Amino acid sequence: MHKIFLIIFIMTTIISCSQTNNSKVDAQKAMEEKYPNIKIDSIEKVNNSFFEIAIQDQLYYLTSDFKHLIVGNVIDFETGSNLTENKMKRERIKYLSKINDKNVITYKPDSTKYILTIFTDTSCPYCQKLHNEVDDLLMNDVEVRYVLFSRNGNDDDAYADMVSIWCSKDQKDALNRAFDNDFVKNQSCQNPISDNYSIARDLKVNGTPMIFMENGLVIPGYVTTDKIMSILTDNISR
C-alpha cells in the first residue's frame, strides 16, 4: 500500500489506513446516508485506502473504512506526485478543450512550441502588464490565446469594451489599443464573451489575468516572461 501524505488546510498529517474491500457503490451509499442533501458529482477509488469524491468541483477523500472525510492535497510518497493537483489538471484540460478556437484572439509566433490560454480583462492593470510581455512570449515560441472575460460582469464598462474589441475588423489591433488606453469604437455583434463565463466558472477563474498551460497547470496573476518560460520548460516536455 502506498503511503499517502495529506495536507489538510494548514496541518500536515500522515495517515495510514487499514485496507477494506468496500466498493464505490458502498462509498456512495455511506455518503448519501451521512449527507443526504449533498449532490455527489463523482466517486473514484484512489487505492485500497481512499475514495476520491467530487462535490461541486471540490475534491474530498473518504477513508475506505468510511470513518474520515478529508479535505486537502494528497501526495504519493513513493512517486512525489500530487494526486489532487493531477486530477484538477485533467479537469482543466477537459474544460480548456471546450474553448472553440474561433472564440479566442490568438497571437501566433512563427513557430509554436508552447500554448497559453489566458483569461484577460482590458480594465485589469495586471492584464495590461501581462499583455506587454506578449512580444517576448512570441519570440520564445509561445502562442497566446486570449479569452475575453469581464470579471465584473456584463454590466461593467469593460464588458462593452471587450464586445467592441471582438466585433472590430482587426481584433488584435483593437485589443492592443485597448490595453494602451486608446479609444476603441463602440461596436456590437454576435460574440462569445457572455458564454466565456460558464467556461471561467468551470475553470474556477476568480480573477484576471489567469494563465492556463496545455497540461492543465494554472498560473494566477501577472508573471514575467522569464518566469513563464521557466515554468513551461519545467513542466512541459518538448
**Could you tell me the pLDDT band of residue 20, with boundaries at 50, 70 and 90?**
low
Question: Among 196, 208, 194, which Cα is nearest to 154's?
Answer: 194
- pLDDT beyond 80 at 231: yes
User: Looking at the domain that runs over 96-235, which CATH code has it been given?
Assistant: 3.40.30.10
**% of the chain residues with pLDDT over 70:** 91
- Domain 4-81 fold: Nuclear Transport Factor 2; Chain: A, (3.10.450)
Angle at CA 34, nearest 5°, toward 85 and 44?
35
Domain with CATH 3.10.450 in the chain: 4-81
Q: What is the largest CA-CA distance in the chain?
A: 66
CB 172 within 8 A of CB 145: no
Q: Where in the chain is the domain with CATH 3.40.30.10?
A: 96-235
Produce one character per residue of 205-224: b if its CB has 16 or more CB atoms within 10 Å, e if not.
beebbbbbbeebbbbeebbe
Q: Model confidence over 114-137: pLDDT tens digits?
A: 999 999 999 999 999 999 999 999
Tell whether the model's pLDDT for residue 75 goes beyond 90. no
